[in-house]
Structure 1
């Protein structure tokens, strides 16, 4: 009874209004296919030097060169193929957004492997500060960074470290990710501060300086 009176008020019957209703038989949904554009980086070919050996087994790739050997396992979204000319191409196995993202990423990783085992990579760091210096003791890198004790870091296998003029560090090797990780761990001990620039910075790093607090004018 309450529902019928509420319905009459809602539909305007009490005010003398007539409301017409149109029956709805079915609600339709339009399915739209998502088209993924091909990655601009992923579609570029990878040149393989003559001194590099490629071993491809399904989704596993091994790259061996004069500097070392690296391997990579590809996800199901992408695949790698070697053409008769010897170049490598990374292609999408399925058409999804994730595959489009993996396409460019694994093409870059593959190219880094080929360049790494043939030519290698290096990362340069610089120590800025009074008394800041670095030295090598066997397989350890010893840093004096203003702490009460020196910082000692063991150099991982496959990475070479060279110290120049006690304030410049060169990290080199064939694995780009390992080089970047070790260089970042060195920088983490004393990141450069923005006022005087003291700390450990990459050689090509630009530090945005801040102005110090000026004294009050008398």
Structure 2
């Protein structure tokens, strides 16, 4: 801790954060970090909650890490890893190639399950969202890229002709 800056170093990596003036961090004797407000305003309340969570994510990230799981659902939908790229076949006329960012690890299981892991939670979520954005799950057949814990609400198709 240095003034309004806090850095965390662990077995998985190192992260740093700069706090706004509405929030300060104190280290207790037990080693716990306490995020406190310096003023009582609406913005201070917002910053307090945000930076408390960011601090927690930072400490957990460098010590244990995070992961996001994605599933590819659809005939012919599959993923492979080629060097530092992930290649997605999602029913387009061309395969989709995406560069894996530094600090993230990507594994593919059974060609249809993707695991994005690393120590920076926001980077993991951003990369997983960019993969999902290519083919979000659609409500009629459920095809697309979805998070493993996501539930896709299905819709009925056309009612058909009445006789």
TM-score range, shorter chain: over 0.9
Query: Which structure is richer in relative contact order (CA contacts within 8 A, separation 6 or more)?
Result: 2
Deviation at 1:217, TM superposition (A): 2.6
The correspondence for 1:134, drawn from 79, 93, 104, is 79
The correspondence for 1:180, drawn from 125, 128, 139, is 125
Match of 1:148 in 2: 93
The correspondence for 1:103, drawn from 45, 48, 71, is 48
Alignment of 1:213 with 2:155, yes or no, is no
Q: Whose radius of gyration is greater, 1 or 2?
A: 1
Q: Which runs of 5+ in 2 are unaligned?
A: none
Match of 2:148 in 1: 203
Give the paired residue count.
163
The correspondence for 1:161, drawn from 96, 101, 106, is 106
Distance of 1:165 and 1:97 partners within structure 2: 48
Q: What is the TM-score of this pair, normalised by structure 1? A: 0.74
Give the secondary structure class of the aligned counterpart of 2:49.
helix
Runs of 4+ in 1 over 6 A off after TM superposition: none
Q: Which runs of 5+ in 1 are unaligned?
A: 1-55
Distance of 2:27 and 2:38 partners within structure 1: 15
Give the secondary structure class of the aligned counterpart of 1:57.
coil
Q: What is the TM-score of this pair, normalised by structure 2? A: 0.99
Q: CA RMSD in A?
A: 0.5
